[in-house]
Amino acid sequence: MPNWLNDPQRAVYDRESGLWCLYFLYNSQFSPNPAISKNDIEWFLMTSSDLVTWTAQHVAIPKYTTENGDPWSGFVFIDEGNTAGFGKGAWTILMTMPAAPHHVQTTALWYSPRPAGAVLQLS
């Protein structure tokens, strides 16, 4: 997959579609030349029915979504008990990212009320 960076997150099983969902850090503008490459990080989604063959889907968390900067690494879980208050079965993500204005590391919470494939929203 071109522009794959690193940090694959734990695969999560989507019971509705029968697919495994894997997010990883991605940079659509990556270049091996440091003078050209930017630190524009996004979360990209890939899916698999067998954990062997993967299909590229789309950017799930785009860059420049918040004033804080790009999303960094984190983890996904399906909140079956609605413990976070986004609805039963909401896809919930905790991740690190820089915090404005000094860009120190902070933790951000994202969620999607629908199964994987939906664009995740910052809470």
> CA angle, 67 as apex, 61 and 68 as ends, to 5°?
75
Residue from 7, 14, 40, 79 carrying the catalytic annotation: 7
Residue 7 annotated to the active site: yes
Contacts of 53 (CB under 8 A, 6+ apart): none
Query: CA-CA distances (angstroms) from residue 19 to 15, 41, 45, 99, 109?
Result: 7, 25, 12, 33, 23
Q: Among all residues, which ones are annotated catalytic?
A: 7
